[in-house]
Amino acid sequence: MSSSSETSVVASSNRGVPSKCICGAGGHLFKWVEEAVYEEVEDALPKVGLMANKIVKTKSQVNELTAALLELKEEAL
């Protein structure tokens, strides 16, 4: 009996550049390069988006801290 989680694991393991043949044998590994690279990039895009959001947030925090530091320096003088 197969569950939907088993199906999704099998389907996701076929994405990107393969490391082994889907039948388990290693002697006849084949997948179109364009398809494999496209899948690798497609799977990476959400992670890149999350990193971009974190970078924007961090830059904003740095700008706020820089402004606060300048204010403190002016008060100290």
pLDDT of residue 58: 98
pLDDT of residue 27: 62
pLDDT of residue 14: 74
Residue 50, Cβ density class (10 Å: 0-12 exposed, 13-18 middle, ≥19 buried)? exposed
Tokens for 12? 């996701």
Report if pTM > 0.85: no
Number of domains in the chain: 1
Query: Per-residue pLDDT for the chain (77 aa), expressed as one digit of tens each?
Result: 444 444 444 445 678 877 777 777 666 666 778 888 899 999 999 999 999 999 999 999 999 999 999 999 999 88
| Domain membership of residue 33 as a residue range | 4-76
- Write the DSSP assignment of the chain as a string of letters: ---HHHHHHHHHHTSSS-SS-TTS-STT----HHHHHHHHHHHHHHHHHHHHHHHHHHHHHHHHHHHHHHHHHHHH-
